[in-house]
Amino acid sequence: MNTGSILSRERTYAMPGFSRWMVPPAALCIHLCIGQVYALSVFNLPMTRLIGISQPTPDDWKLTELGWIFSIAIFFLGASAAVMGRWVEDGGPRRAMFTSAMCFGSGFLIAALGVSLHQIWIVYLGYGVLGGIGLGLGYISPVSTLIKWFPDRPGMATGMAIMGFGGGAFIASPLSVWLMSLFSTPAHVGVAETFVVMGIAYFLFMLVGSAIVRIPQPGWKPAGFETPVRAGKLITNRHVYVYQALRTPQFWLIWLVLCLNVTAGIGVLGQASAMSQEMFPGRVTAVAAAGFVGLMSLFNMAGRFLWASLSDYIGRKNTYFCFFALGTVLYATVPHTGSIGSVAAFVMCFLVIISMYGGGFATVPAYLKDMFGTRYVGAIHGLLITAWSMAGIFGPVLVNYIREYQIDNGVPKAQAYNVTMYVMAALLVVGFICNLLIKAVHERHHMPIELAEPEAIAA
Amino acid sequence: MIDENTGRRQGGTTTLHLVLAWGFVGVPLVWGVLKTLGNAMKLFQ
């Protein structure tokens, strides 16, 4: 890449007088857009009647075929974040954000072509592969930049961006429904046009983020902030090379911590509506269950910001101790709420659980920064995203299969989730132990200072 | 403002820049949150 290119790292350095508070909105421009992936399901039913219009015909796509679009996108999110992390770090946030915008926007346009031609493989290729790569690059692109701008509050800074990923669905869901209603006619569902508009709109929105993002000059610190001369027990001043981090037990322990925390949350997130109705038959209607799911999404988003911000004060390890200890108690309490018939207690338990699920995502970049330094934190975070992909498979499978097994063995539906809750509590106990085992990274893994911070030394 | 040494524009951020940047992301986010909150209220009806 030509260093003179407007996308290059060299052209992204902040000039004197630049406010670091411009960087979180830049990150949010990306995360609010890519968070759309959580609202992809609003297209499912309309896409099952692209030919039949009012109702599905045998030639229409099936829900099972459409479900693969999300799965492929999430797979490529994890894969691209893991593989391209080093490229993102080296090239700087602007190049990564721009590439993410190109991939995500064009993914929508190619998917629109697939919908128009009624060729599902083109949709897989467009939204799934290309869009998924855009998701992965976009997800990790602002992380290390935010941490460098906010060394005093890294949890809060990354929490803000990752909160945007949770909030993206809030915008995308009503927007998609509104656009489809605008473009639909008695002879047309309007999905392709909606994809085109969203592809262009998201590209432009993300472009703004790419344009306003800046990286701090080497050696920059916020006014009044002094890097501690002697680092804390679990906070290092040194840096670990991205692939060296894979050789440390700390990386794999944090990988397990994230995986277990996400597994416990993601399994119930997908089943919340059915679970609330089955545990309280006749008391929680389908409409109320939909409201419960909406409320959980809000707590998921808010938890990302609040827990990550709190971690700046109580420490990352203690924050995860809260997630695992409180989560274990709450999961173990859920069956009791069902047996006493307390909907309010059931809702409260899950709102706190889901806030900690979101908080786990948002706190982990700062945890990595504490353990491995800032130099390759974005790339290391990219590698850690594989824990999410793994949890995305395990969580729902665990919940669904245990429920089915219980029902097949004659357990009433209202009690079919009890074992699942205890299994989730047990997973969190394992997570607690993994978190307990995390110690500072041994100095033999640290990069030599002249390699880690050549610009700072030159400055 | 132009830097005399580099000839490049200085990156001074004004309050207007901050308001525009935060408004650009904040307005759609608040709109989405309010919509979702409206739906979530059905739980209590």
Whole-number pLDDT of residue A454: 56
Q: How far apart are CA A163 and CA A28, in angstroms?
A: 8
pTM above 0.90, yes or no: no
Q: At what angle do helices A154-183 and A343-372 cross, to 10 degrees?
A: 120
**ipTM of model:** 0.84
Q: What pLDDT, on a 0 to 100 scale, did the predictor assign at position A230?
A: 56
What's the rounded mean pLDDT across residues A326-346? 92
Find the mean pLDDT for residues A280-299.
84
DSSP string, A156-217: HHHHHHHHHHHHHHHHHHHHHHHHHHHH-BTTB--HHHHHHHHHHHHHHHHHHHHHH--BPP
Q: Which residues contact A401 (CB under 8 A, 6 or more apart)?
A: none
A173 touches chain B (CB under 8 A): yes
Using CB atoms, pick whichever of A15, A212, A297 lies closest to residue B10.
A15
B19 touches chain A (CB under 8 A): no
Say whether residue A129 is in contact with chain B using an 8 A CB cutoff: no
Residues of A in contact with B31 (CB under 8 A): 171
> Residue A61 in contact with residue A50, Cβ under 8 Å?
yes
Tell me what percent of the residues of chain A surpass a pLDDT of 70: 96
Model confidence pLDDT, tens digit, residues A9-60: 888 999 999 999 999 999 999 999 999 998 888 898 899 989 998 888 999 9
The C-alpha of A135 sits at a distance from chain B's nearest C-alpha, in angstroms, of: 18
Residue ranges making up the domain that contains B29: 1-45
CA distance B37 to B40: 5
pLDDT top residue among A398 and A191: A191
CA–CA–CA angle A394, B40, A400 (5° rounding): 20
Which of B15, B43, B44 would you mutate first to test chain A, the one with the most A CBs within 10 A? B43
Q: Which pLDDT score is estimated for A458?
A: 47
Tokens of A224: 């009044």
Q: Chain A: nearest CA to B35, how far in angstroms?
A: 8
Does residue A206 register a pLDDT over 80?
A: yes
Does B29 sit within 8 Å of A171, measured CB to CB? Answer: yes
Measure A9 CA to nearest chain B CA, in Å: 16
B13 vs A: CB within 8 A? yes
DSSP A87-154: HHHHH-HHHHHHHHHHHHHHHHHHHHHHHHHT-HHHHIIIIIIIIHHHHHHHHHTTHHHHHHH-TT-H
The partner residue sitting opposite A171, judged by closest CB among B10, B21, B28, is B28
pLDDT at A229 (0 to 100): 58
A28: amino acid identity, one letter: L
Q: How confident is the model at residue A1 (pLDDT cuts 50, 70, 90)?
A: very low
With a CB-CB cutoff of 8 Å, which residues 266-325 of chain A face chain B? 287-292, 294-295, 297-298, 301
Query: Is residue A3 scored above 50 in pLDDT?
Result: no
Residue-wise pLDDT for A109-150, tens only, equals: 999 999 999 999 999 999 999 999 999 999 999 988 999 999
- Phi, psi (degrees; rounded to nearest 5) at A323: -55, -45
List chain A residues with CB under 8 Å of B32: 167, 169-174
Nearest-angstrom CA–CA distance, A51 and A55: 9
Put simply, whether A121 touches B (Cβ < 8 Å) is: no
Share the mean pLDDT of chain A.
89
Q: Which domains does chain A have, with CATH numbers?
A: 10-212 (1.20.1250.20), 242-445 (1.20.1250.20)
* Count: domains in chain B: 1
pLDDT class of A451 with cuts at 50, 70, 90: low
- pLDDT tens sequence across A211-237: 999 999 988 888 888 776 555 678 888
Least confident of A17-21, A257-261, A393-397, B20-24: A393-397
